[in-house]
Amino acid sequence: MQTNSIKTKPFKDQKPGTSGLRKPVKTFQKAHYLENFVQAIFDTLPEKQGAKLALGGDGRYYNREAILTIIHMAAANGIGELMIGKSGILSTPAASHIIRKYELDGGIILSASHNPGGPDKDFGIKFNTPNGGPAAEKITDAIYQKTLEISEYKIAEAQPCNIDKVGEFQYGDLLVRVIDSVVDYSELMQSLFDFNLIRDYLARPDTQILFDAMHAVTGPYAEMIFNDILGCPKNAILRADPLPDFGGGHPDPNLAHAKQLVDTLFADAGPTFGAASDGDGDRNMILGHQCFVTPSDSLAILTANATQIPAYKNGLAGVARSMPTSAAVDKVAEKLNIPCYETPTGWKFFGNLLDAGKITLCGEESFGTGSSHVREKDGLWAVLFWLNLLAVKKQPVSDIVQQHWQQFGRNAYVRHDYEAIENDAANSLVDSLINQLGSLPGKRLGIYDVQYADEFRYEDPIDGSISEHQGIRIGFEDGSRIIYRLSGTGTQGATLRVYLETYTTDDNKLKKDANELLKPLAKISTELAQIEHFTQREQPTVIT
């Protein structure tokens, strides 16, 4: 096996975002582009020689080609072992589990999560550390610095590896182990939940579930768990086969992009329970018959009922949510007398809290929920948690939600996304808002009195690291909030996210549509930020 050192030059656009480096496929296909970034990852490993890494992705276009390139680069760089998902398939939560279970030195995950796939769509790559979680900013900053200094990368000349067959292959000193990660992941889920109880619940004649895998990575995992282990019929899973372009769809589990699932659940004779997961398997959407559970409410409800689940029967150490996520879980934590932490958006911020044993459950409004079992959000875990809860309570999803609101109050919540707006326009909008912050406290906006207005700043309670400029918050005296934040997960232009939240214990409002309850705040949010002026958009691209 011959090893070559290839001369290269830096690319200036390889700074990772909140979830790694995401770019159009055509960018990654440029000569040396992928190789430069992978070499930067290898060069920042504490111990590169003999390192053991997980490798795989969500099966999107360019996944296989990237894996074969990384294998050859790993062989040339002295990596000791690569543990690869069969056919290159490795969900993000499964990758986290593999890293932790086999005590690896980290993992390279190939995914652009919920972004669309295909030759003209998106690709992504990120590095996870030995705890199984996304690399902290100090590591991604070091990787980025390496990309700015790189002058060559190492790659071996060798026959392509057969990643479609479970087994072991040797490339010089590199051991390549192709594994079926579905087995490892399903065993983990069975250790957390009462599968016998869930199986009995699913066998009831009045129970029908529908899971939408969105032609993404969770298809094989769902088939083993729901079909093979829990005994659900084959038609309980929609779009089960992973496709490079996700079947032409957008693998984002929300009301807009999982339309067939939503329409089926909201039909008069719809199923009891519905759920979907995203491109790389870390997000989830939960539905009952004619009922959508917001991710914020889902986290709060799971927290309130955690002790009814085997893995959490002894209680929770604490909980955490991202800043834009509604304060619904705060109400539960207060009643349970456990800590509740507010972090910036990005799952890596939960990692220190989980590793320190400060929290057990965590979640974010962008359809992500998880626990201490891995260091990533986990779509199928959330679905199984809900099924275990339904099996215990034997109530419709809508009843569980309403009873929760009766007990804790309701944080009515909506997110408005303005996608693919020009970066200059987005930055001008944010700058304009920041310039207003000092004058807002004490003002009356519509029917609301401003209590505070600031940019969210986070000091990590474990390592003391500071994260600035994490979103603009406008809080009102009655607990309502407007949050503005530019998302770091897109590849085209900027995405402005506007989060609206109001709290109520009024019985008359507990069953009202959230959009109706939040109309006054929506009007204030658009006028205050001059959204139409800066973006030339009269309406959001997506409302969830």
**Where would I find the H helices in 7-153?**
25-28, 33-43, 63-76, 92-101, 137-149
Which of 87, 113, 181, 277 is the catalytic position? 113
Q: What order do you get walking across the sheet with 237-238 strand by strand?
A: 237-238, 209-212, 273-277, 284-288, 291-293
Question: 159 with 171: CB under 8 angstroms?
Answer: no
State how far the alpha carbon of 165 is from the alpha carbons of 55, 86, 159, 177, 182, in Å: 15, 6, 15, 10, 14
- Is 186 annotated as catalytic? no
State the greatest distance between any 2 C-alpha atoms of the chain, in Å, as a whole number. 73
Question: 394 with 300: CB under 8 angstroms?
Answer: no
How many CB atoms neighbour CB 302 within 10 A? 24
State how far the alpha carbon of 294 is from the alpha carbons of 123, 254, 385, 515, in Å: 28, 10, 15, 12
DSSP H or E segment with residue 221: helix 218-222
Tokens of 521: 């705040």
Beta strands in 180-324 (DSSP E): 209-212, 237-238, 273-277, 284-288, 291-293, 319-322
Question: 303 with 332: CB under 8 angstroms?
Answer: yes
Q: Return the exposure string of 466-495: e unless at least 16 CB atoms fall within 10 Å of the residue's CB, then b.
A: eeeebbbbbbbeeebbbbbbbbebbbeebb
Q: Is 229 exposed, middle or buried (0-12, 13-18, 19+ CB in 10 A)?
A: middle
The alpha carbon of residue 506 and the mean position of all alpha carbons in its chain are separated, in whole angstroms, by 33
Tokens of 66: 């990237």
Q: Give me Rg for the CA atoms of the chain.
A: 23
Question: 62 with 123: CB under 8 angstroms?
Answer: yes
Angle 110-113-114 (CA atoms, 0-180°, nearest 5)?
150
In the chain, the N- to C-terminal Cα span, in Å, equals: 53
| φ and ψ at residue 445, rounded to 5 degrees | -115, 110
State how far the alpha carbon of 163 is from the alpha carbons of 26, 85, 183, 411, in Å: 24, 8, 17, 47
The 3-state DSSP class for residue 375 equals coil
Question: 485 with 324: CB under 8 angstroms?
Answer: yes
Instruction: Tell me the C-alpha distance between 360 and 307, whole Å.
Output: 12
Under DSSP, the state recorded for 248 is G
Catalytic sites, residue numbers: 113
